[in-house]
Amino acid sequence: MDFIVDGFFRALVLLIHGDPQTLSAVATTLKAASLSIGISLIMGVPAGFCLGYYEFRGKKTARIIVDTMLALPTVFIGLLVYAFLSNRGPLGGWGLLFTIPAISVGQTILALPVITALTASTLDSLDQDLRLTLISLGANKRQLFFTTLWEVRYGIVAAAMTAMGRVMTEVGISMMVGGNIKWHTRTITTAIALETGKGMFAEGIALGLVLLAIALVVNVSVSVFRR
């Protein structure tokens, strides 16, 4: 039990002293996560919007597929991405394996369904009267589209935050395609796995608390941004 208390104090020390290894893991985590969230937003928001806004054949099936993808295990994604990025794999020539972008590729696969599904369900739950009101006010198709997009902005932010949480806390992808390389691809979660594996439980707890602290900062800044 002592290591929980130890871990708490170690976390404070790591943060206050700016331990270079911890800072490197924090930077790697943030780089990989923001890259993957960025790409997922570019792809996922339009996809989710189509899925929620328009009516088309096969919409239900598409929703089921996206919702199923929410359950993709991270180690499985890691293995798939490794198979593609390995020098023996079809994309081996890109030389991405064991780099931050490689982690981001995997994390994008993880985040994309989250953003797509949540964007779509935000549109679902949008007040149906909004559409009618807008049309009766004489809005054209374009205005209708942008107003709807504007109305769901907080839903998209919430989707991004949920995906961010999932991406920053995963360990399977980062370990498999990042390789947990010190100063390069060691994220906070792979560092926790490593320290735990070494029996350094207090260090592991400390790093876990550092990750929580980052999540807190991100959430506080988003709530400020919303106002």
Partner 1 sequence: MIQKRFMVGILAVLVSVAVAGSVHAKALMMATTTSTDNTGLLDYLAPEFTKDTGIELKWTSVGTGKALKLGMNCDVDVLLVHAPPAEKRYIKDGYAESRREVMFNDFVIVGPAADPAGVQGLTVATALSVIRERGKVFVSRGDNSGTNKKERLLWKAAGGPAPEKEAWYVQTGQGMLSTLNITAERGGYTMTDRGTYIKYSHQHGGKPPLNVLVEGGVILKNQYSVLILNSTNCPAVQKDLAQAFSAWMAGDKAQGLIADFRLLGMALFTPNAQ
Q: Pick from 1, 58, 61, 88: which binds partner 1 (CB under 8 A)?
A: 88
C-alpha dihedral, 84 to 97 to 67 to 167, nearest 10°: 180
Q: Which is nearer to partner 1, 68 or 221 (CB)?
A: 221
Could you say whether residue 173 binds partner 1 (CB under 8 A)? no
Could you say whether residue 17 binds partner 1 (CB under 8 A)? no
DSSP state of 89: S
Residue 224 CB neighbour total at 10 angstroms: 8
Could you say whether residue 98 binds partner 1 (CB under 8 A)? yes
45 in Cβ contact with 115 (< 8 Å): yes
- Residues within window 113-172 making contact with partner 1, judged by CB under 8 A: 146, 150, 153
Q: Pick from 25, 51, 80, 100: which binds partner 1 (CB under 8 A)?
A: 100
Q: How many Å apart are CA 123 and CA 109, to the nearest integer?
A: 22
Q: Which is nearer to partner 1, 23 or 62 (CB)?
A: 23
- Residues within window 43-62 making contact with partner 1, judged by CB under 8 A: none
Q: How many Å apart are CA 178 and CA 197, to the nearest integer?
A: 17
Q: Which is nearer to partner 1, 18 or 199 (CB)?
A: 199
- Record the tokens describing residue 49, joined without a space: 């919007």
Q: Pick from 136, 199, 224, 227: which binds partner 1 (CB under 8 A)?
A: 199
Q: Pick from 25, 80, 97, 110: which binds partner 1 (CB under 8 A)?
A: 97
- Record the tokens describing residue 77, joined without a space: 């994604």
* Cβ neighbours of residue 58 closer than 8 Å, sequence gap 6 or more: none
Closest approach, Cβ 192 to partner 1, in A, equals 13
158 in Cβ contact with 118 (< 8 Å): yes
Helix (H) or strand (E) holding 124: helix 100-124
Q: Which is nearer to partner 1, 61 or 140 (CB)?
A: 140
Chain residues binding partner 1 by CB under 8 A are: 31-32, 34-35, 37-38, 41-42, 86-89, 92, 97-101, 104, 146, 150, 153, 179-182, 184, 196-200, 225
